[in-house]
Amino acid sequence: AKDSGKNQYKFYNQGLEKKLQLKQELESSLKTTSGRKSFEIYYQPKVNVHSKNMIGVEALVRWRNASGELIPPGEFISLSEESGLIIPLGEYVLTEACRQAVAWKESGHELILAVNVSIIQFEDSKFLSMLKRVLEDSKISPHMLELELTESVLAKDIEYARKLIEEIRLLGVKIALDDFGTGYSSLSYINGFPLDVLKIDQSFVRNMLRSKTDQTIIAAIIQMANGLNLKLVAEGVETQEHADELEKMGCEIMQGYFFSRPVTADTITSTLEESKSI
Ligand code: C2E
Ligand code: CA
Ligand code: CA
Ligand code: CA
């Protein structure tokens, strides 16, 4: 018992040390231009199931740490939110992804580019000017860019959120509400809120074939999106059965492992080139 207590302590300590070390590594990676290259952006296709076309991609960041391992965002996004590092990281992801979307467009493929924005970025007073600068520098057409926000930004300060979202949309940039249905926002919040897209959270999609409740929630979200004239994206579509059922229910745009996992920009480029030659 004595031994296991000792081990536990050591284990706990290692956890803390690891977190600190990770934080330091993150910090130094974000400081320099070369360090920023250790963040790699993967892209996951969004598919229109009627036309069978890839209509857009979502940018999803990964981190190549010093040992060369590819670390998923689940392991460093919240850490970089706690330390504020998400602000330079988010700017880097946006800049890089816009540059890539412009390159695809120049080779004849216009894709909608979705980029995730953390609430910490959204609450940063310099967010709007940063966004304008990236739009100008990259020369991306603003209507090609969609920012994915979670409901948390509406829950915190709804008037601030409404104003900032209105200003972003005035630039021509679209706003998507990510993980929809999992947050606190009531339907009355959404009604009249300046949005373009609702993304049905993957938890509902995952369970829809065996849970009547989740299927009912999806049906309600679809009906609401239609009523409010919002576009819909279903995420986490893993099987043909999910895709078929969602299509039957009236959802046209989907994203998930069934179509593709998040892949490198080069892989997207190859897919685009193949579809051109057909
Ligand atoms: P998210 O924005 O909800 O992104 C969708 C996540 O679900 C991605 O995980 C994606 O790989 C995964 N996914 C996609 N299709 C499927 C599927 O069919 N089945 C399953 N089981 N999973 C699927 P990922 O890339 O690990 O990202 C996790 C989260 O990290 C994202 O969730 C987002 O909240 C955050 N994140 C990723 N990149 C960024 C970023 O650049 N900025 C910010 N602020 N957050 C980011
Ligand atoms: Ca997202
Ligand atoms: Ca999501
Ligand atoms: Ca999520």
How confident is residue 9, by pLDDT bands cut at 50, 70 and 90? Answer: low
Mean pLDDT of 160-165: 95
pLDDT in tens, 54-82: 999 999 999 998 888 999 999 999 989 99
Q: What is the DSSP letter of 263?
A: B
CA–centroid distance, 27 to ligand 2, in Å, is 24
Residues within 5 Å of ion ligand 3, judged at the Cβ atom: 178-179
Pocket of ligand 1 (CB under 6 A): 44, 59-61, 72-74, 77, 90, 93, 116, 118, 148, 178-179, 202, 235-238, 255-257, 262
Could you give the CA distance from residue 40 to residue 263 in angstroms, rounded to a whole number? 10
How confident is residue 1, by pLDDT bands cut at 50, 70 and 90? Answer: very low
3 pLDDT above the threshold of 70: no
CA–centroid distance, 178 to ligand 3, in Å, is 5
Euclidean distance between the first and the last CA atom of the chain, given in angstroms as a whole number: 68
Listed in sequence order, the residues at least 6 apart from 259 whose beta carbon sits closer than 8 Å to its beta carbon are: 45, 47, 237
Residue 257 Cα: closest atom of ligand 1: 18
pLDDT of residue 14: 67
Mean residue pLDDT across the chain? 91
* Ligand that lies nearest to the alpha carbon of residue 85, given by its number in the listed order: 1
Q: Would you call 113 helix, strand, or coil by DSSP?
A: strand
Residue with tokens 């579509």: 237
∠ at Cα 72 (157, 239), nearest 5°?
90
pLDDT of residue 138: 98
Residue among 36, 39, 60, 182 to mutate when testing ligand 1 (max atoms within 8 A of CB): 60
Mean pLDDT of 234-247: 97
Residue 148 Cα: closest atom of ligand 1: 2
How confident is residue 11, by pLDDT bands cut at 50, 70 and 90? Answer: low
ipTM: 0.98
Q: What is the pTM of this model?
A: 0.93
187 pLDDT above the threshold of 90: no
Q: Ligand 1 atom 11: the closest Cα is on which residue?
A: 262
Residue 237 Cα: closest atom of ligand 1: 18
Q: Which helix (H) or strand (E) holds 224?
A: helix 212-228
* Ligand that lies nearest to the alpha carbon of residue 118, given by its number in the listed order: 1
CA–centroid distance, 1 to ligand 4, in Å, is 40
Could you give the CA distance from residue 259 to residue 240 in angstroms, rounded to a whole number? 9
Mean pLDDT of 240-246: 97
CA–centroid distance, 199 to ligand 3, in Å, is 7
CA–centroid distance, 143 to ligand 3, in Å, is 21
Could you give the CA distance from residue 31 to residue 24 in angstroms, rounded to a whole number? 11
86 pLDDT above the threshold of 70: yes
pLDDT of residue 189: 74
pLDDT in tens, 93-141: 999 999 999 999 999 999 999 999 999 999 999 999 999 999 999 999 9
pLDDT of residue 8: 55
